């Protein structure tokens, strides 16, 4: 060290690693916390850093996971989301998520939050935010494509921002659809199973939350979607996944979380190259228009960004009165 160089002093002391279990975060999260975290996260995408996700697979290619990095002015971290379809054989959820937060002084791990259940709320909260910003105010009928783990979370979240009085459920099989109808009915929703054409013909809002791949046909035909419909597409979050008919993009105003990511692994990967993608954060902060007329068809392509996970994790820690 030369005389001109300042003395940095002793190195900072690393605090003990904080571990918040799945049971604790699941008990703390709710729709209101998740929605407020989503609002903060999407507002932060305007003028702040937003990093694209990395989607990869495990030693068995059927097992997939994603890495979603994030940073704010005060915190940074990464969410690891896993999808292990074989977990069904063990009576375990196929999806799980873990959020890692870094000590911003020395770069070591400061906190590990298990957020499997919280992640379902987080995903549904992005849907609810898009519905709140883009769907018609007189929305009352919701169509749900998908009967998996995420389905009920989506319905509950959207029902907090619109007066939904009927849920139309479309499943891969009649048995799957009826099972979801029973679950939604038990939660107090008016629900019934229908086919895809009826769902599109009657719905004010369409939610797609499936595992549909590139080798499966789109969930419905573009001509079935009536003017004025809003669609929240939650399932396409990895290369090759597709739920929408490509022809629909020509009729719609298209919104997403991060345009460069949506074109790489979201639903918009299948959109024509000239399709304009509007970041939802721009609508939230008044920098871009959302719905311009009651007749607009609006599409929100949610591929998931790490800043959503960061703000959700910070909201959970704040609720626990913990500072990472």
Map residue 280 onto helix, strand or coil. Answer: helix
Q: Are 199 and 296 part of one and the same domain?
A: yes
- 24-28, 259-263, 320-324: segment of lowest average pLDDT: 320-324
| pLDDT of 7 over the 80 cut | no
Q: Are 23 and 136 part of one and the same domain?
A: no
pLDDT digits (tens, 9 = 90+) for 290-320: 999 999 999 999 999 999 999 999 999 999 9
In which domain, by residue range, is 313 found?
18-118+307-319
- 24-38, 253-267, 290-304: segment of lowest average pLDDT: 253-267
Q: Are 180 and 112 part of one and the same domain?
A: no
Q: Give the pLDDT of residue 236.
A: 72
pTM for the model stands at: 0.93
Q: Are 245 and 273 part of one and the same domain?
A: yes
Closest CA to 235 of 261, 209, 256: 209
Q: Are 30 and 135 part of one and the same domain?
A: no
Phi, psi of 297 (to 5 degrees): -95, 125
| pLDDT of 239 over the 90 cut | no
Angle between the 31-44 and 151-159 helix axes, to the nearest 10 degrees? Answer: 80
Q: Are 106 and 204 part of one and the same domain?
A: no
Q: Are 299 and 311 part of one and the same domain?
A: no
Residue position matching structure tokens 């400061």? 110
The count of domains in the chain is 2
pLDDT digits (tens, 9 = 90+) for 109-128: 999 999 999 999 999 999 99
Closest CA to 203 of 166, 239, 248: 166
């Amino acid at each position: 060290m030369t005389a001109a160089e300042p003395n940095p002093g002793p190195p900072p002391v690393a605090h003990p690693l904080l571990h918040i279990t799945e049971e604790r975060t699941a008990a703390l999260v709710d729709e209101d916390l998740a929605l407020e975290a989503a609002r903060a996260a999407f507002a932060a995408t305007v003028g702040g850093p937003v990093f694209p996700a990395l989607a990869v697979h495990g030693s068995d290619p059927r097992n997939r996971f994603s890495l979603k990095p994030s940073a704010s002015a005060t915190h940074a971290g990464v969410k690891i989301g896993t999808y292990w379809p074989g977990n069904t054989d063990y009576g375990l959820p196929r999806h799980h998520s873990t959020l890692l937060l870094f000590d911003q002084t020395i770069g070591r791990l400061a906190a590990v939050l298990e957020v499997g259940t919280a992640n379902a709320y987080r995903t549904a909260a992005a849907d609810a935010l898009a519905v709140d910003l883009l769907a018609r105010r007189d929305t009352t009928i919701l169509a749900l494509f998908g009967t998996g783990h995420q389905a009920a979370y989506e319905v509950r979240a959207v029902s907090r921002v619109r007066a939904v009085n009927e849920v139309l459920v479309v499943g891969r099989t009649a048995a799957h659809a009826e099972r979801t109808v029973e679950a939604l009915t038990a939660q107090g929703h008016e629900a019934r199973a229908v086919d895809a054409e009826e769902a599109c013909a009657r719905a004010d809002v369409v939610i797609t939350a499936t595992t549909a791949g590139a080798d499966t046909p789109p969930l419905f035909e573009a001509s079935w979607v009536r003017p004025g419909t809003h669609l929240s597409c939650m399932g396409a979050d990895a290369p090759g996944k597709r739920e929408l008919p490509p022809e629909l993009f020509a009729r719609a105003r298209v919104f997403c979380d991060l345009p460069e990511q949506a074109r790489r692994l979201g639903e918009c990967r299948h959109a024509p190259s000239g399709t304009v993608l509007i970041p939802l954060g721009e609508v939230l902060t008044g920098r871009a228009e959302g719905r311009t007329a009651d007749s607009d068809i609006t599409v929100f392509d949610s591929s998931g960004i790490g800043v959503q996970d960061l703000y959700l994790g910070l909201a959970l820690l704040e609720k626990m009165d913990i500072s990472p």
